[in-house]
Structure 1
């Protein structure tokens, strides 16, 4: 059982700790992101080491097993779902006349982006779902944790190049809610990590469209979107499109319904082993 001071201050300790993990992992991956071997090896290894570091830090602070970091079987379904969601979004934009054109990129570009996005997806999910959603849900319930974490997840993207309030709101209402619901429904970090990675991989690595306002240079294709901002998301990218609300509403609702029916939205539902609830106080 951890010391009293660690239990008392576990939220700030874990939040600061996971932010440091994110900074080190993403900084390491970005150091030579134009180098194929470095981007892939550093990105994947940084993602794995970040999860292990989160598990070790959480075990030290909370004095419990960390099953949310062990359920790796959710990763592949998550990747498939994330890719399917973004593919559906791009298909809808195309059918609505939002495509301007497409040119070829390279397989090397796709591989580079895959490595970078593996690190990004893992690290961001550790902070937002592993710490914010989990601990806020224990203290205030799942609905409050989703509201707070979604607002912060959207606001984080305001620092990106070409960021817009519309884009931040869209990411909060869609990505923030979807990923938080995926965690609450499964009690596993690997489903939101997989969804996050699959979405980013198709967006930045395959289609090569703007990702949260950032221009993509390394991708399999380079896709130009042309049309009204509500349809294409403008300079922020398709994540700010109104269409994304329609694409992600149903899966988000399904996950939230399942989480609510299984009691995982209730306050003090530990989201790990029920036996640990009494031992780990906020």
Structure 2
């Protein structure tokens, strides 16, 4: 029941925040004012419900070192997406026609902040963490990564390849970032930096969603395998390549730090389940 309680609590905040952001879609500055507090509220609710249901210090969202970890993750996320854009630009598949909208970028900042935080709390903080206790790091990574990709099939302009790409890129890289640090701040920063770079800076589609114009007025066109087509650059082979390399680096760091959890035997899972609060 702890899994259900945790999911319901965080999902409720995500739903209310999402509805508020949608209602303010024509007012980007208001989206900024809604999105950032909604992200902070989601963290507080996560800390409360996990602490209450598991009766332990919720170290994965400990405030110590949070700003620097979020900052590093954001920089890495922006750099990774920027590398994709550089490849598209040099190949002639991405063109900039001038400056876009500062207010649009501000609204996307708030929207992507709320999305990154709530999705990381749900998928890495709850689903992966609980699954890892039962089946170990590797199986939990594959299962939750696959689920993360499948969820994105609900997006506009979604397709099977886009779901596979998201499962590999985000499901793998963001989970690996959590395993490497055992904190949610780095994957939150990575998630936000990647999404905001795609929408708020380079003005491309994000996971099949047509977002408002960001800082650059741009056009992406060319072969779907390279540009991602209507799904956006996340469906590009460049994105898959760079995120796989980042995933390998994070998993190497996790192994070096001894953060990988082996699969438990049936007896060990039974003992662990018996000690969990209901």
Do they superpose with TM above 0.5? yes
Contact 1:138 1:267 in 2 (8 A): no
Corresponding residue to 1:121 among 107, 116, 122: 116
| Alpha-carbon distance in 2 for matches of 1:155, 1:102 | 34
Residues 79-103 of structure 1, C-alpha deviations (whole Å, 9 max, x = no match): 1111111001110122233225534
Aligned length: 267
CA, structure 1 residues 79+101, in 2 after alignment: closer, same or farther (shift >3 Å)? Answer: closer
Question: Which residue of structure 1 aligns with residue 191 of structure 2?
Answer: 196
| Alpha-carbon distance in 1 for matches of 2:141, 2:19 | 28
Residues 216-242 of structure 1, C-alpha deviations (whole Å, 9 max, x = no match): 223112321111110000000000011
5 Å-filtered alignment, 1:22-37, equals 22-37=14-29
Question: Which residue of structure 1 aligns with residue 208 of structure 2?
Answer: 213
Q: Unaligned 5+ residue runs, structure 2?
A: 265-271
Tell me the CA shift for residue 280 of structure 1: 3.8
Tell me the CA shift for residue 267 of structure 1: 3.6
Q: Does 1:263 align with 2:258?
A: yes
Contact 1:109 1:205 in 2 (8 A): yes
Residues 54-100 of structure 1, C-alpha deviations (whole Å, 9 max, x = no match): 10011111111111112413111011111111001110122233225
Question: Which residue of structure 2 aligns with residue 65 of structure 1?
Answer: 57
Question: Which residue of structure 2 aligns with residue 160 of structure 1?
Answer: 155
When normalised by structure 1's length, the TM-score is 0.89
Question: Which residue of structure 1 aligns with residue 31 of structure 2?
Answer: 39
Question: Which residue of structure 2 aligns with residue 274 of structure 1?
Answer: none
| Alpha-carbon distance in 1 for matches of 2:217, 2:171 | 26
| Alpha-carbon distance in 1 for matches of 2:37, 2:196 | 17
Q: Unaligned 5+ residue runs, structure 1?
A: 1-8, 270-276
Q: Does 1:238 align with 2:230?
A: no
Question: Which residue of structure 2 aligns with residue 18 of structure 1?
Answer: 10
Runs of 4+ in 1 over 4 A off after TM superposition: none
What's the secondary structure of 1:244's corresponding residue? helix
Contact 1:33 1:116 in 2 (8 A): no
Corresponding residue to 1:228 among 206, 223, 228: 223
